[in-house]
Structure 1
Amino acid sequence: EGGFDAILQVAVCTRDIGWRPDSTHVLVFSTESAFHYEADGANVLAGILSRNDEACHLDSSGTYTQYKTQDYPSVPTLVRLLGKHNIIPIFAVTNYSYSYYEKLHTYFPVSSLGVLQEDSSNIVDLLQEAFQLIRSNLDIRALESPRGLRTEVTSAMFQKTDTGSFHIKRGIPGTYQVQLRAMEAVDGTHVCQLGEEDRKGTIHLKPSFSDGLWMDAGIICDVCPCELQKEELSARCNYHGDFMCGHCVCSEGWSGKTCSCSTGSLSDIKPCLREGEDKPCSGRGECQCGHCICYGEGRYEGPFCEYDNFQCPRASGVLCNDRGRCSMGQCACEPGWTGLSCDCPLSNATCIDSSGGICNGRGYCECGRCHCNQQSLYTDTVCEINYSAIRLGLCEDLRSCVQCQAWGTGEKKGRMCEECSFKVKMVDELKT
């Protein structure tokens, strides 16, 4: 179960293991079990174990000492540390556990996976095959890169594999291109506002078969000429900010175009308080100079940000029926639509009968639907007689009224016969 602990200790305990520097190292991991990784146990979720510190913890006998106090390492941690220490893993696992490691080994840019027989009789063949595979793959990665920089390595000679390594040919020199790109922002902060350690540094460009190349790199942040001529604590900014490039950059605690509003002043916050509430701008915005600036990029509106534009009426679960937009708590419908949720068309197109009239002259059109003056099982959506329905059941439906009126029998005989909507006329001969 502690396989990941063992892999990490082998990587970081270089002196104890006896790794030779500046050489390629191969780690053979053989098991018949699955593996545990970071945060997959209840103890970790309960806060009993701390995160793995990625340090060497072997005693004099070579035994790992922190298995009771530290969590297992994560997969990205192992990938990073094995790459940093130039270690290529070979997973020799039994058929029972093969499915677990089939996906795991793909996270390592250069690695190998093979099925080990139950008696380990094929271990030599497995290692020979793994060596041949490893020799034809080269991984080049950028280690210790500043957060503000992204490094990409490409080659016009060799193709990249699914794991990101290059499929190379032994004995053929290769040419590789390295592209450094400055990020525009990191975690929402503009790259030029990051600390120097995140903008400058030494990048270790490391192939999987050698020590690699060290590069000093940094991001140049251009400064506009007007930024060099700023007026500190300028009178134009009420001495509460710097005037730079045509506008005020307010000091902490002040806001507004001329830094005239104190963000902590009660007189400025009071106009932003809605009656009966204790939070400015309903807790959905920021009070600046007595006015609410709502959060959410248009989600909240109103003088106190009291309207949530995700809470307008819906039709079939769709906000404003997708026929309008939510504004100030109400649906503003597109042309041709009306109703609380924009679910009513203004057009009578859906109420036109087969003769081109509206609701067959026997009803009225409202919200795109016919409301017939006399509802019946045998009228359709435009108040026309549905002859298919008549053939199926009209005679059966009228049977009881005919029986009671003509012969005084049937289910409606007696007073219920008066409820019939028609009168039966008896004739000796039906004339056509």
Structure 2
Amino acid sequence: MWMGSLQILQNYSSSDTADGSSLFLQPQQVSLHLRPAVSQSFPLTISTPTDQPITELTLETSEVPAGINITFSSVQRGSPLMMQVNVEAAGCPNTSDSVNQNQTGPWSIQITPRGFTVSLKLEITLQCRCSCTQHRQEKSPDCNGFGSLVCGRCYCEKNLAGSRCQLLSDEFLTRDERHCRRDETKPLCSGRGTCVEGTCQCNRRPNPAEGYSGAFCECSNFDCPYHNNSICGGNGRCECGKCICDPLWTGESCECSMDTTSCLAKNQQVCNGRGFCECGACRCTDPKFSGPTCEECPFCPGRCTALHNCVECWVSGLGPSRCASECGQYNVTMVATHDELYDPKKMPNLCKFWFKDLCSLFFAVPFPGQSTIPALLQCDQPDPASRFSFSFADV
């Protein structure tokens, strides 16, 4: 696509000695051919003698035509001062408006540093039509003699069609129908394109990063599942409505990490060897084990012993602050009956210890996620044979 042109007409330095100071501009004359909405820029060098650095300078322009925007930006300060001049046309004039007809220039605009008389002459011409449209070749051989060639495209005579005017219109339409549908029930080009000579030309999307593809424009690179407000979770690319995940990612929307770092137990085994890692989280396959890395085992031998010091500290009346080092996350609640103490559906194990040679101490082992340990102290004729820990649900 033609983007316009820039031509430096005068590039030698001109000077100004207003107010006893010198100022040099380079270039002095520039010609621009602008395409609508396509910005063009060029450098402007402003210099003074080396002992007079430029600390502040304002550029002014003469009257600028409507729709033409000129801006300046500083590239380098000091002497010389480097400026970037940016010029852009908003659009072409409305040809139906007689006032604006043929308002494409050229226009001459003066750019002058404030306080000086030296200026840059900027000539702008708005290019609203491609030059090739002015060269129309009637009955062109490239169109089989049945059309006009304009800008490389054939404009066919009546009842003819095709890129080279090689088909009758009826044949052209029939060919379209046959080759531009996936089957007879489907719309032409899946409703996402235009059928040209039996070939689908897919529509363009407003977002240049999005597009349709496929012989029938049936595929897209944006119609895929989202995760965390990102297509394919930001961890893959969308191809024909399906996410193709990056390495170490899986799932319909690439939402599942295959990295097992978060699943490593203290022994550096994945899920403690008691499960498998799925989407960065452990799924424990051994029913006795649970927790983030399958290391918690409330039914395993030794749980009674591990909690004994905590419960004994509470029963001794030392209080939460004194027992914190023994109990950590747990707190102990004293109950009055065995019914309150133990429910197999809520507690996996029941433990029993000898307490101060006089009483029996019972407590229940909590499930993972529970923080309360119910305990019962009985001091009526303790059985000396119970001077050890045990579990009624031991495994």
TM-score, scaled relative to structure 1: 0.43
The answer to which structure has the higher strand fraction is 2
* Greater fraction helix: 1
| Structure whose alpha-carbon radius of gyration is higher | 2
